[in-house]
Amino acid sequence: MDLGIVGLPLCGKTTVFNALTHGHAETGGYRAGVETNIGVVKVPDERLSKLAAQFQSKKVTPAEVRYTDLPAMSATSSRGGGPSSQVLSALSASDGLLHVVRTFQRGDVPHPQGSIDPHRDIAAMDVELVLADLAVVEKRLERLAPVVRAAKPVERDAGEREMDLLRRVKASLESETPLRAQD
């Protein structure tokens, strides 16, 4: 399973990543637009050794969770056209997202907005994820249009249905409605 860790700057993403992976990634810095941290954790499961003994397995491979600590996403970083292609790729590759929201107050780690407000921060991250989804939908529409035009009539119908769906999704995303809230 691949989980992407997302959140606004200075919310504690890397601290959570280090706790989950027993890692030592550098914390405390605003890393918008830079490399990701990746850690793989084997999932302990007592049942696995019992099954291995029962079936006399020569090799025992526990399940793994891969955590990707993504760069901070914020409205200021996305004004230049949305999340970077690296962030979009990592989001797309994730099976799920772990959203870290800051609720702690520390003078040596000031909140980028000047105050702690989890509801505001969740809404801001929702906007960032909507922008990421919108970028994916727009790219798919761009690539699909010439394919549909050149398709045979039988195949064109399916392509046009997909384009209609993507246009509806795009309109909803442009009104800042997350995909999870769409029908």
pLDDT tens per residue across span 68-114 = 999 887 644 444 556 677 777 888 889 999 999 999 988 888 888 88
- The pLDDT value recorded for residue 143 is 96
- The pLDDT value recorded for residue 110 is 84
User: How would you label 91-130 residue by residue, b for 16+ Cβ within 10 Å and e otherwise?
Assistant: beebeebbbbebeeeeeeeebbbeeeeeeebeebbbbbbb
- The pLDDT value recorded for residue 76 is 44
Which of 74, 3, 91, 93 lies closest to 33 in space, CA to CA?
Answer: 74
pLDDT digits (tens, 9 = 90+) for 43-62: 999 999 899 999 999 999 99
Lookup: tokens for 132: 């990421």
Residues spanned by the domain of 149 = 2-181
Residue 28 has phi, psi (to 5 degrees) of 90, 0
pLDDT digits (tens, 9 = 90+) for 114-172: 899 999 999 988 988 898 899 899 999 999 999 999 999 888 999 999 999 999 999 99
pLDDT digits (tens, 9 = 90+) for 21-51: 999 988 876 555 567 899 999 999 999 989 9
**pTM of the complete model:** 0.79
Tell me the percentage of the chain whose pLDDT exceeds 90. Answer: 59
Q: How far, in Å, CA of 171 to CA of 154, rounded?
A: 27
Residues 141, 167: contact at Cβ < 8 Å? yes
- The pLDDT value recorded for residue 108 is 82
Name the domain count of the chain. Answer: 1
Residue 16 CA, distance from chain mean position: 15
- The pLDDT value recorded for residue 78 is 44
The CATH number linked to 125 is 1.10.150.300
- The pLDDT value recorded for residue 33 is 53
Q: Order of strands, edge to edge, in the sheet holding 37-42? A: 37-42, 64-69, 2-6, 96-99
